[in-house]
Amino acid sequence: MTVTAREQEPGSTYTVHPGADGAGVVRRTVLPGGLRIVTETMPTVRSVAFGIWAGVGSRDESHQEAGASHFLEHLLFKGTPKRTALEMSSLMDAVGGEMNAFTAKEYTCYYARVLDSDLPLAIDVVSDMVTASLIESQDVEAERGVILEEIAMHDDDPTDAVHDEFAAALFGDAPLGRPILGTVESISSLGQERIAGYYRDRYVAPNLVVAAAGNLDHDEVVRLVAAAFEASLGDAGRPPNTPRIEGAGAEVNPGVRSLDRPTEQANLILGTIGITRTDERRFALGVLNAALGGGMSSRLFQEIREKRGLAYSVYSYNSQYADTGTFGVYAGCLPAKVDEVLAICRDEVAKVAGGGITADELERGKGQLRGSFVLGLEDTGSRMSRIGKSELVYDSLLSVDDILARIEAVTLDDVRAIGEEVLGRPMTLSVIGPFEGRDFSL
């Protein structure tokens, strides 16, 4: 049974998954005002991962706010009325903990990993920075320079930049087509007042999820979080002032986006629109992805690297969002070999779109998907991320057994159908390399 924050009585606790012998128990509490707290108990470890997830990312930004979510992520580490930036980092260093954050297209996460005995400290520090950061003008100016350096570093790495170029080619000027970091122009123009307003409007209780996994007691986590958020929960019942900016665009923008760079290697992505994160066919698409370019036995790896030695790195991937998704094939090769590599990528994509995969590929794809999923949950950080992200962006948290069963249930017909739909769409191409004047649309 799925219980949403609106349905669950404030202050009550709901067991999402009972686990076994006290391990893997997932519990959920909704505080008055809408703040959600989810935990997973792992009594055999001596650590805890604690995170606060905000349902805001780069796709929620207007043109004038481009890069604001990531800019704000930096600023939340700069100090609160309770402690300075140095005091925050010193407290975590003193207990051997780690604290960090990341910004994605649709959410931002602030997290810490500590010994189980130091969980109260982690909750206090991370909650304080998320709810009470100062966002002072001098910190905005200092971090502006840091972020401009980060953008320059990102642009200097073609393996990173080609993904931004692909998003821009596929989605155009829609929010999902813009880089998470923003641009030099947008970051240079963002002022303290706009960022502080973005913080006040978006970081409200209904938009936040607190997640923790490890050797913990759920009731203690709830008590500590409630105390840490006490000052900020007075107006937590109000919704954010600015809703999510939708309209990424489900229409494919077939075409080419080529960036001339004097690089030693060409980097390319060939891809198209995928499916949403709640689409039940995502498990079939995952199996297809594994067969096409997900491992050393995949078609792309075998054809491009093993048989012909044309590239060191080649893979396929798929990403899902609230209302759309992407599917892409990446390859890095010598500029002189880009035509041959691109032709093989197109050919293999067309084969899967037209005829699906073999029975052997189906079984290998299932096994790879099962193994990577389970092995990726072997530490507290990944467990915290799974329950936190699920609470934030999914309707329910599927158990590990549920997910494994859904992977196992995928058939050849399922893969063939999703392959025909997704890979049969017009393709978009992004290329970075020394190709001045080259028309890849031909």
Catalytic residue list contains 73: yes
Q: For residue 115, give Cα distances in angstroms to 94, 96, 186, 213, 377.
A: 12, 8, 40, 12, 18
Q: Contact at 8 Å (CB) between 60 and 202?
A: yes
Q: Contact at 8 Å (CB) between 311 and 331?
A: yes
DSSP 241: S
Q: Contact at 8 Å (CB) between 391 and 397?
A: yes
- d(Cα 118, Cα 196) in Å, to the nearest integer? 31
CB atoms within 10 A of CB 360: 10
Residue 50 CA, distance from chain mean position: 17
DSSP 12: -
Tell me the three state secondary structure of residue 164: helix
Q: For residue 380, give Cα distances in angstroms to 26, 111, 179, 344, 383.
A: 13, 11, 30, 40, 5
Q: For tokens 């979510």, what's the residue?
A: 69
Catalytic residue among 40, 61, 73, 143: 73
Residue 435 CA, distance from chain mean position: 32
Helix, strand, coil: what percent of the chain each, to 5?
45, 20, 35
DSSP structure string for 281-347: THHHHHHHHHHHHSSTTSHHIIIIIITT--EEEEEEEEEE-SS-EEEEEEEEE-GGGHHHHHHHHHH
- d(Cα 86, Cα 102) in Å, to the nearest integer? 20
Q: So which residues are the catalytic ones?
A: 73
